[in-house]
């Protein structure tokens, strides 16, 4: 069962939401509805599910409805129509008291501008969620301290937020959310207010924390790089609608429409694409069946100067060069063992293009992509360049 | 044709208000009577008690408080000591204690009533649009006008003084409580909501602490306004420094009037600096 399920969720801001809703369902655009009725479509019939333990990123330009959507999930904003289920329970049908309980136990939020209470110390901030649940002082202090340790702020508990840097303030925000031990973390552009370096550091830390804690995280960002770095899945929003949901690869490699394509156009692909995306089907010869003669023949046919050698199970044995093979043929050597070279440049399926780029630069032969000893593909310099230029990636592999 | 305006009969507003006042006086007598009979003497007791304390002790206490309230600086303490000695020296110490009691009582009730109204107002736009013009009315109506019905309700003495200054001085507390709460950033309110706060948790743990500075500024204004009104209230027999001024006015005694006036100024400055410093004290930079 998904932890969060969102069904045709719609929010319309303005005086006559019912009227606007009808137009929306008839397929009018956000712009047309604004013109017709003066109402703003915040979120337009969003539907998706978030599984336990995943980082689900919602990405879109400013004004695309991300903040509205995340606030509909904990009902800081009441929906115009549609449903939100948390652990199968429908939030829109809940009483205030039940809703409060869900917020206290299951959903915690981290805010873009940190939203720390300036008159409370770091520790008191982290305690807030527990305090309002009426948990006694000693226990809530213990839990809050643990959460602060977790984000590396154990030594700052008696400071006030204004005494901390932005990055540290957001750690307090994160600790405050974690202290409750919620199932779901809602993070609205949590790192957007930080400088790039600190932001990257926080992203890494979030991923580290996630390794250990396995929370379900809904993370909002307008930054595609950030989305690709931390998202298990990404939902792309435009004008309040979700235009595509998929893994980072799917989004990049297979944009659902022109809008997504535009969005991903200027991503630094080298950070996202891996060996798997750019490798080609390898020409090989079989060490158990073939000798230098066949090898030479095959290379001549394909116009290669070297060829990879495998066994029947496609285990990679090494490679031979055309020069060695013709030499061996002249000397009438039968097997390939004598001329087999084993200094193979190898990578695995998930090696990033950036690393491949460094490798391929000074390699005389194509790079072998190996999985559990088996040759899965090869990468030639040409395909790296092509992929960086944004074309020619093979989806059948991804 | 030109006297068409005269054709409109004079609307009986004044009579209406008078009648209404009579009605209020009769209907709420169950309230006014105990205030007259119990609260008046109570205030006089308080003032009497203050006058019992030897002035030198009062001066020392005020000086010490001033020293700590102003963050261990000597300025306010020095001023207070000199000012209070001057007042004692001029023989208006008794008036000072009466005035102080009146200010204390009317400010206390103004805050006690004003803050909840301000809080409610911040929660409802409708209420805000109803209350705001009433506050404007309360503040622009000449202060003397309040004195007239007040006398009807509470006869003369301290209670009507307190009541009139209460009405006159309450608006800033209401306004700034409302403003302070409305100014709390949406994200902070959302944060408290997102963690599952109840209405009162949000109010007491987030909104009021965040609005504290603004509210305190309102209270400071309220105290200052009630001081100015307490002086005016001497016209209906409220005791204190104001009475000295009025007496001097009646006798065209410039000298005594001036002395009493200076006394009021000294009290005003001391009270103002005290409340302002209290506000500054624990303020962490936001
Ligand atoms: N309280 C509101 N009242 C009216 N319109 C709003 C309100 N909040 C957001 N909107 C509108 O809804 C749309 C989505 O806003 P938002 O969710 O804040 O976008 P994002 O977080 O993606 O930048 C925008 O067009 C915005 O102007
Ligand atoms: Mg936003």
- Model confidence over B185-208: pLDDT tens digits? 999 999 999 999 999 999 999 999
**Contact partners, residue A262, CB within 8 Å, separation at least 6:** none
Residue B34 reports pLDDT greater than 50? yes
Pocket test for ligand 1, best of A10, A24, A35, A42 (most atoms within 8 A of CB): A42
User: Helix, strand, or coil here: A39?
Assistant: coil
User: Helix, strand, or coil here: A46?
Assistant: strand
Nearest residue of A to residue B191, measured between CA atoms: A115
DSSP state for residue A395 in the 8-state scheme? G
Q: Is B61 on the interface with A (CB under 8 A)?
A: no
Mutation target vs B (from A114, A117, A143, A189; most B CBs, 10 A cutoff): A117
Looking at chain A, how many residues does it have? 398
Residue A51 reports pLDDT greater than 60? yes
Per-residue pLDDT band for B45 (boundaries 50, 70, 90) equals: confident
- pTM score of the predicted model: 0.78
Q: Which domain holds residue B151?
A: 26-279
pLDDT of residue A328: 87
Query: Using the beta-carbon criterion (under 8 Å), do B194 and A117 form an inter-chain contact?
Result: no
φ and ψ at A294, to 5 degrees?
Answer: -60, -40
Q: What does the mean pLDDT of chain B come to?
A: 88
Residue B16 lies in a domain: no
Query: Using the beta-carbon criterion (under 8 Å), do A101 and B196 form an inter-chain contact?
Result: yes
pLDDT of residue B281: 59
Q: How many CB atoms lie within 10 A of CB A34?
A: 15
Residue A11 reports pLDDT greater than 90? yes
What percent of chain B has a predicted confidence (pLDDT) above 70? 97
DSSP string, A185-250: EEEESTTTTS-HHHHHHHHHHHHHHHHHH--EEEEEES-HHHHHHH-SEEEEEETTEEEEEE-HHH
Q: For residue A52, which of A207, A187, A210, A183 has the smallest C-alpha distance? A: A183
pLDDT of residue A135: 95
Per-residue pLDDT band for A270 (boundaries 50, 70, 90) equals: low
Q: What does the mean pLDDT of chain A come to?
A: 89
Q: Is B183 on the interface with A (CB under 8 A)?
A: no
Q: For residue A135, which of A76, A179, A185, A184 has the smallest C-alpha distance? A: A179
pLDDT of residue A388: 67
Per-residue pLDDT band for A63 (boundaries 50, 70, 90) equals: very high
pLDDT of residue B49: 87
- Identify the sign of the CA torsion B254, B260, B266, B269: negative
Residue B57 lies in a domain: yes
What's the average model confidence in pLDDT over B41-55? 86
pLDDT of residue A390: 57
pLDDT of residue A266: 67
φ and ψ at A393, to 5 degrees?
Answer: -120, 140
Instruction: Please tell me the residue having the least CA distance from ligand 1 atom 20.
Output: A63
Q: Between residues A364 and B118, which one has the greater pLDDT?
A: B118
Relative orientation angle of helices B254-281 and B75-89, to the nearest 10 degrees:
150
Q: Between residues B63 and A274, which one has the greater pLDDT?
A: B63
Q: Using CB atoms, pick whichever of B191, B198, B206 lies closest to residue A100.
A: B198
pLDDT of residue B195: 96
pLDDT of residue A395: 44
Q: Is A297 on the interface with B (CB under 8 A)?
A: no
Per-residue pLDDT band for A387 (boundaries 50, 70, 90) equals: confident
How many structural domains is chain B composed of? 1
pLDDT of residue B143: 81
What's the average model confidence in pLDDT over B159-183? 92
Q: How far apart are CA B243 and CA B250, in angstroms?
A: 11
What's the average model confidence in pLDDT over A95-99? 94
CA angle B169, B170, B176 (to 5 degrees): 115
**Contact partners, residue B27, CB within 8 Å, separation at least 6:** none
What's the average model confidence in pLDDT over A59-75? 94
Helix (H) or strand (E) segment spanning residue A109: strand A107-110
DSSP string, chain B: -TTHHHHSPPP-HHHHHHHHHHHHHHHTHHHHHHIIIIIHHHHHHHHHHHHHS-HHHHHHHHHHHHHHHTTS-SHHHHHHHHHHHHHHHTT-HHHHHHHHHHHHHHHHHHHHHHHHHHHHHHH-HHHHHHHHHHHHHHHHS-HHHHHHHHHHHH-SSHHHHHHHHHHHHHHHHHHHHHHHHHTS-HHHHHHHHHTT--HHHHIIIIIHHHHHHHHHHHHHHHHHHHHHHHHHGGGGT--SHHHHHHHHHHTT-HHHHHHHHHHHHHHHHHHHHHHHHHHHHT----
Residue A397 reports pLDDT greater than 50? no
- Longest CA–CA span in chain A (Å) reads 90
Per-residue pLDDT band for A89 (boundaries 50, 70, 90) equals: very high
User: Helix, strand, or coil here: A374?
Assistant: strand
Residue B38 lies in a domain: yes
What are A280-319's pLDDT values in tens digits? 888 888 888 888 888 888 888 888 888 999 998 889 999 9
Q: Which of A109-113, A211-215, B130-134, B277-281 has the lowest mean pLDDT?
A: B277-281
Q: Is B191 on the interface with A (CB under 8 A)?
A: yes
User: Helix, strand, or coil here: A336?
Assistant: coil
Q: How many CB atoms lie within 10 A of CB A390?
A: 13
Q: How far apart are CA A177 and CA A116, in angstroms?
A: 11
Residue B271 lies in a domain: yes
Q: For residue A60, which of A270, A261, A260 has the smallest C-alpha distance? A: A260
Instruction: Please tell me the residue having the least CA distance from ligand 1 atom 7.
Output: A13
pLDDT of residue B30: 86
What's the average model confidence in pLDDT over A335-349? 88
Chain B positions in Cβ-Cβ contact with residue A176 (cut-off 8 Å): 195
CA angle B107, B110, B113 (to 5 degrees): 145
Q: How far apart are CA B267 and CA B261, in angstroms?
A: 10
Q: Which of B54-68, B179-193, B268-282 has the lowest mean pLDDT?
A: B268-282
Per-residue pLDDT band for B172 (boundaries 50, 70, 90) equals: very high
Cα end-to-end span (Å), chain B: 66
The interface pTM score, or ipTM, of the predicted complex is: 0.81
Q: Is A74 on the interface with B (CB under 8 A)?
A: yes
Q: How far apart are CA A392 and CA A277, in angstroms?
A: 9
Q: For residue A276, which of A351, A226, A345 has the smallest C-alpha distance? A: A351
Q: How far apart are CA A338 and CA A64, in angstroms?
A: 64
Relative orientation angle of helices B241-250 and B208-232, to the nearest 10 degrees:
30
* Ligand 1 geometric centre to CA of A243 (Å): 18
Relative orientation angle of helices B55-69 and B254-281, to the nearest 10 degrees:
40
What percent of chain A has a predicted confidence (pLDDT) above 90? 57
Query: Using the beta-carbon criterion (under 8 Å), do B198 and A132 form an inter-chain contact?
Result: yes
What percent of chain B has a predicted confidence (pLDDT) above 90? 40
CATH of the domain at B55: 1.10.3720.10
Asked if B63 and B80 count as a contact pair (C-beta separation under 8 A), the reply is yes
Q: Which of A168-172, A238-242, B52-56, B131-135 has the lowest mean pLDDT?
A: B52-56
Residue B259 lies in a domain: yes
Residue B18 lies in a domain: no
Dihedral of CA atoms A260, A265, A269, A274 in degrees, nearest 10, equals 40
Q: How far apart are CA B231 and CA B102, in angstroms?
A: 10
Q: Which residues line ligand 1 (CB under 6 A)?
A: A 13, 40, 42, 60, 62-68
User: Helix, strand, or coil here: A278?
Assistant: helix
User: Helix, strand, or coil here: A349?
Assistant: coil
Q: Between residues A145 and A292, which one has the greater pLDDT?
A: A145
Residue A216 reports pLDDT greater than 50? yes
Residue B17 lies in a domain: no
Per-residue pLDDT band for A271 (boundaries 50, 70, 90) equals: low
Residue A121 reports pLDDT greater than 50? yes
Q: Using CB atoms, pick whichever of A104, A115, A119 lies closest to residue B190.
A: A115
Q: Which of A184-188, A284-288, A351-355 has the lowest mean pLDDT?
A: A351-355
Shortest alpha-carbon distance between residue A193 and chain B (Å): 14
Shortest alpha-carbon distance between residue A129 and chain B (Å): 5
Residue A224 reports pLDDT greater than 80? yes
Residues B226-261, buried b or exposed e (16+ Cβ, 10 A)? bbbbbbbbbbbbbbbbbbbbbebeeeeeeebbebbb
- In the structure encoding, which two tokens stand for residue B95, read together? 């008036």
Query: Position of tokens 């600086």?
Result: B73
Query: Using the beta-carbon criterion (under 8 Å), do A129 and B206 form an inter-chain contact?
Result: no
Residue B11 lies in a domain: no
Most confident of A97-101, B225-229, B276-280: A97-101
pLDDT of residue B138: 85
């Amino acid at each position: 069962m998904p932890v969060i399920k969102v069904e045709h969720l719609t929010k319309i801001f303005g005086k006559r939401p019912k009227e606007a809703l009808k137009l929306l369902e008839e397929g009018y655009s956000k712009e047309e509805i604004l013109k017709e009725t003066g109402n703003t479509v915040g979120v337009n019939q969003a539907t998706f599910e978030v599984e336990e333990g995943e980082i689900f990123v919602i990405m879109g330009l400013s004004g695309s409805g991300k903040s509205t959507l995340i606030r509909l999930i904990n009902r800081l904003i009441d929906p115009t129509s549609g449903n939100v289920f948390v652990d199968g329970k429908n939030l829109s049908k809940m009483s205030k008291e039940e809703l409060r309980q869900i917020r206290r136990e299951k959903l915690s939020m981290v805010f873009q501008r940190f939203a720390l209470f300036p008159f409370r110390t770091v520790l008191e901030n982290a305690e807030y969620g527990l305090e309002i649940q009426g948990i006694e002082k000693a226990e809530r202090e213990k839990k809050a301290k643990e959460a602060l340790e977790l984000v590396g702020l154990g030594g700052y508990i008696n400071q006030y937020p204004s005494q901390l840097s932005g990055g540290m303030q957001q750690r307090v925000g994160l600790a405050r959310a974690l202290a409750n031990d919620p199932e779901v973390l809602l993070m609205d552009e949590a790192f957007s207010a930080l400088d790039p370096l600190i932001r990257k550091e926080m992203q890494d830390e979030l991923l580290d924390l996630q390794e250990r804690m396995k929370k379900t995280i809904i993370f909002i960002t307008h930054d595609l790089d950030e989305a690709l770095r931390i998202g298990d899945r990404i939902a792309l929003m435009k004008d309040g609608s979700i235009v595509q949901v998929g893994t980072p690869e799917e989004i990049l490699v297979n944009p659902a429409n022109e809008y997504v394509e535009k969005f991903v156009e200027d991503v630094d692909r080298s950070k996202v694409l891996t060996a798997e995306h750019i490798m080609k089907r390898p020409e090989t010869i079989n060490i158990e069946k073939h000798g230098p003669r066949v090898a030479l023949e095959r290379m001549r046919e394909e116009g290669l100067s070297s060829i990879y050698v495998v066994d029947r199970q496609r285990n990679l044995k090494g490679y031979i060069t055309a020069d060695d093979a013709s030499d061996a043929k002249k000397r009438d050597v039968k097997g390939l063992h004598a001329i087999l070279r084993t200094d193979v440049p190898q990578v695995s399926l998930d090696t990033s293009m950036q690393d491949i780029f460094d490798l391929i630069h000074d390699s005389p032969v194509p790079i072998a992509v190996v999985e559990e000893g088996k040759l899965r593909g090869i990468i030639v310099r040409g395909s790296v360049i092509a992929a960086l230029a944004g074309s020619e990636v093979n989806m059948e592999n991804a | 044709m030109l006297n068409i305006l005269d054709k409109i009969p004079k609307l009986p507003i004044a009579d209406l208000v008078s009648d209404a006042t009579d009605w209020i006086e009769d209907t709420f007598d169950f309230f006014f009577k105990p205030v007259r009979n119990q609260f008046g003497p109570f205030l006089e007791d308080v003032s009497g008690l203050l006058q019992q304390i030897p002035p030198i002790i009062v001066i020392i206490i005020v000086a010490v408080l001033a020293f700590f309230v102003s963050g261990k600086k000597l300025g306010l303490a020095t001023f207070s000591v000199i000012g209070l000695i001057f007042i004692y020296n001029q023989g208006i110490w008794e008036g000072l204690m009466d005035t102080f009691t009146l200010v204390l009582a009317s400010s206390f009730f103004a805050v006690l009533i004003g803050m909840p109204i301000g809080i409610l107002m911040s929660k409802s736009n409708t209420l805000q649009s109803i209350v705001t013009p009433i506050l404007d009315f309360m503040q622009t109506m000449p202060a003397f006008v309040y004195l007239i019905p007040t006398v009807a309700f509470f006869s003369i003495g301290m209670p009507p003084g307190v009541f009139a200054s209460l009405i006159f001085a309450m608006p800033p507390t209401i306004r700034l409580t409302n403003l302070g709460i409305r100014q709390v950033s949406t994200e902070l309110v959302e944060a408290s909501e997102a963690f599952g706060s109840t209405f009162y948790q949000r109010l007491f743990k987030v909104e009021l602490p965040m609005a504290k500075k603004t509210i305190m500024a309102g209270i400071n204004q309220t105290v200052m306004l009630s001081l100015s009104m307490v002086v005016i209230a001497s016209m209906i027999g409220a005791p204190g420094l104001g009475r000295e001024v009025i007496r001097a006015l009646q006798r065209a005694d410039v000298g005594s009037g001036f002395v009493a006036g200076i006394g009021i100024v000294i009290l005003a400055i001391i009270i103002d600096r005290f409340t302002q410093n209290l506000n500054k004290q624990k303020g962490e930079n936001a």
